[in-house]
Amino acid sequence: MNTPPLDTHTGAITLDDGELPAILFNKVEKRFGDHVVLHDLDFTVRKGDRVTLIGPSGSGKTTILRLVMTLEEANEGYILIDGKPLTHYEKDGKRVELKEKHKNEMRKRIGMVFQQFNLFPNMTVIENIIEAPVHVLGLSKKDAIERGRALLEKVGLPDKENAHPTQLSGGQQQRVAIARALAMEPEILLLDEVTSALDPEVVGEVLNILRDIARDTDVTMLIVTHEMQFARDVSNRVLMFDSGRIVEEGTPEQIFSDPQEQRTRDFLSAVL
């Protein structure tokens, strides 16, 4: 995909129709030592898009989510959120790092649900959900609890607010993790293999909740999953990755029913 040119003065970028992109990668490279995980990566996610990244393990998919969440930092290139630079901008031909205060403001726009649930074991379910809204967004405890209870209702766990994570099944913990991410009212939701640590019989309940969120909200989603039917149901675009590069992209119908690239065909025949 051709990325629009970066305004090197402001770091901002707009698409052809004047809209600010939800997420934009501009010539991003990520290395771990001598190993290049992402090569000169360009792609754009529009606001409200549901974009799923598929491909073999080690192809760079999770690294993309970690870069957007600022859990990792790119070695080259620029990432923009809502048209604004996330961690670096270009000035006089040089890549300049933005201040931590700016990065923290950008992080507030983004929620992430991980493979492992990452709940605080010493806190109750409701305490896990209200922690960030109170301490990061400055929401009152009363308002945060009200929001948290509504989200527990949404994920089907209204009676678990005083339980601790160890008292919950894996599927229940992941549903709490989804509620916790949504409690920040993010513009962007990152989903990293959210069913891979779950028993097969509870995978469906978690995916159904995510389908509901995709249907009922306008949150932008960037998804890494090995659940191809879920990718087909929820996405409006699918990107096939291999060795840190986009091999092919298209609608779910095109990618799953009529892939153009042999690498995509080989991958799908192995996983479907």
Q: Which of 14-23, 111-120, 121-130 is most confident?
A: 121-130
Residue 178 has pLDDT above 70, yes or no: yes
Residue 191 pLDDT level (bands cut at 50, 70, 90): very high
Residue 13 pLDDT level (bands cut at 50, 70, 90): low
CA–CA distance, 146 with 43 (Å, rounded to integer): 38
CA 79, 81, 84, 86 torsion-angle sign: negative
Q: Give CATH for domain 48-75+100-270.
A: 3.40.50.300
With residue 111 as reference, give the H or E element that holds it: strand 110-113
Residue 16 has pLDDT above 70, yes or no: no
Q: What is the pTM of this model?
A: 0.91
pLDDT tens digit string along 194-243? 998 898 889 999 999 999 999 999 999 999 999 999 999 999 999 999 99
Q: Where are the domains of the chain?
A: 48-75+100-270
Residue 193 has pLDDT above 90, yes or no: yes
